């Protein structure tokens, strides 16, 4: 099937079997190997990308269902040099092996946008009002991203710093 994706601002045409996931389309067909395949079942978050500004698990989505969509991968988060969030991950040791990091970065980018839009979370005390960048809020909102090196304190601090500076 033929489809068009706008990936990191560039329009890309693809001819794909409908079985190809968005993750495999990015990694195998477009050579954008930043997005990682961890569990391939939506449990680890390593494949997280932004679709039309929202974070999703690209491993659980068929590429053909994204015809016309705008995709942002980790390669598109920075413009030649590390962005604020990426820099914060470096400063706070938000990784060890780095395998989950592209997913963490895309997920955190989407999550900070959700916070800016005033979405509540499971740990929010009320369903009204603004939600701060507390450790508990960040941990809850990032629970779809696993780090097997367990760099959570650094990840949490990095997101907090980038969110506060935004």
Closest CA to 113 of 44, 55, 35, 49: 55
Rounded Cα distance, 82 and 78, in Å: 5
Is residue 150 within the footprint of other proteins (CB under 8 A)?
no
Length of the chain, please?
Answer: 166
Whether the CB-CB separation of 85 and 105 falls below 8 Å is answered with yes
Rounded Cα distance, 48 and 144, in Å: 9
Min dist. Cβ of residue 51 to other proteins (A): 8
Site string for other proteins, 78-107 (x = CB under 8 A): -----------------------------x
Site string for other proteins, 33-72 (x = CB under 8 A): -------xxx--x--x-----xxxx--xxx-xx-x-----
Beta-bridge partner residues of 7: 10, 71
- Residues interacting with other proteins, by CB under 8 A? 1, 17-19, 21, 40-42, 45, 48, 54-57, 60-62, 64-65, 67, 107, 110-111, 114, 117-122, 124, 127-128, 139-145
């Amino acid at each position: 099937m033929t489809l068009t994706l706008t990936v990191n601002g560039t329009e890309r045409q693809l001819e794909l079997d409908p079985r190809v996931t968005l993750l495999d389309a990015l990694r195998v067909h477009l050579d954008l190997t930043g997005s990682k395949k961890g569990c391939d079942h939506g449990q680890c978050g390593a494949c997280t990308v932004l679709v039309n500004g929202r974070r999703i698990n690209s491993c659980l989505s068929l590429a053909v269902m994204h015809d016309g969509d705008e995709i942002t991968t980790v390669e598109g988060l920075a413009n030649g040099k590390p962005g604020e969030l990426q820099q914060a991950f470096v400063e706070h040791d938000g990784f060890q092996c780095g395998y989950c990091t592209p997913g963490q970065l895309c997920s955190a980018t989407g999550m900070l946008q959700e916070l800016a839009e005033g979405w509540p979370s499971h740990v929010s005390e009320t369903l009204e009002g603004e939600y701060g960048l507390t450790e508990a809020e960040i941990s809850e909102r990032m629970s779809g991203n696993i780090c097997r090196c367990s760099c959570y304190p650094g990840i949490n601090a990095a997101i907090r710093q980038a969110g506060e500076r935004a």
